[in-house]
Amino acid sequence: MNSVSPIVGVPCCTKFIGEHDFHVVGGKYIRALTEVAGGTPVLIPALGASLDVERMLNMVDGLLLTGSVSNIAPARYGQQLLDDTLPQDVERDETNLTLVQEAIRRGVPVFGICRGFQELNVAMGGTLHQAVHGLPEMRDHRGAGGQPAEIQYGPAHEVRLAAGGQLQSIFVGAEHITVNSVHGQGIDRLGKQLDVEATAPDGLIEAIRVRDKDRFALAVQWHPEWRASENRESRLLFSAFGDACRQYRQARAA
């Protein structure tokens, strides 16, 4: 890692604390970004259509799309909501889907995690399963609910990496790795210009990338930010993202 610290935009979720709304990002994502990727985070408020997307992307060298307790509104991918008890965040939807589309058009490095993985797919025209655990051919990917975080984010299952893919390159030729699993939704129809980078044993897509060998636009369904500095694959992922952001910064400066 060189000494140049890239500026990485991290879009926020909206959250009510008491009677007031806040724009927030989980600390584990900030720590992974600063400690492992070597980036300087800039939080992007969930302003929806009020956000000046072009100006924001002019300021950053990369975009980190985090996980969240909320789900993308099914209307964004042409479906009706099946369970109205699940949390939504329409401001984040409006902000992030527009940000992702413009970032991809510009070639800004993008790294999506969990909800961010799903956002990349929806932004590229794909759809989601609203409840993977309700599908007879799929396992329950929601993890150990109600347990301490150390158990919830513990190893859950293997994923098989696509031969010759970007993840296999990042993980130095590995054919499979073990990941955690804390999600109820997942990819149904793959978006346009996306390639599958990893799959779970039940066939669920676990990682995707934009189909362009010269860019970093990658997303994973698991949570590599959890104690990222302690996990080899997480360190490799965040380091690769940080390197891509530095290269993008240097190319813009030139």
Q: Using an 8 Å Cβ cutoff, are 126 and 150 in contact?
A: no
Residue 110 CA: distances (Å) to CA of 8, 176, 215, 253: 9, 23, 9, 19
State how far the Cα of 23 lies from the Cα of 51, in Å rounded to an integer: 13
Residue 32 CA: distances (Å) to CA of 51, 100, 167, 226, 247: 26, 21, 18, 8, 19
Catalytic residues: 114, 223, 225
Residue recorded with tokens 């590229």: 124
Helix (H) or strand (E) holding 13: strand 13-17
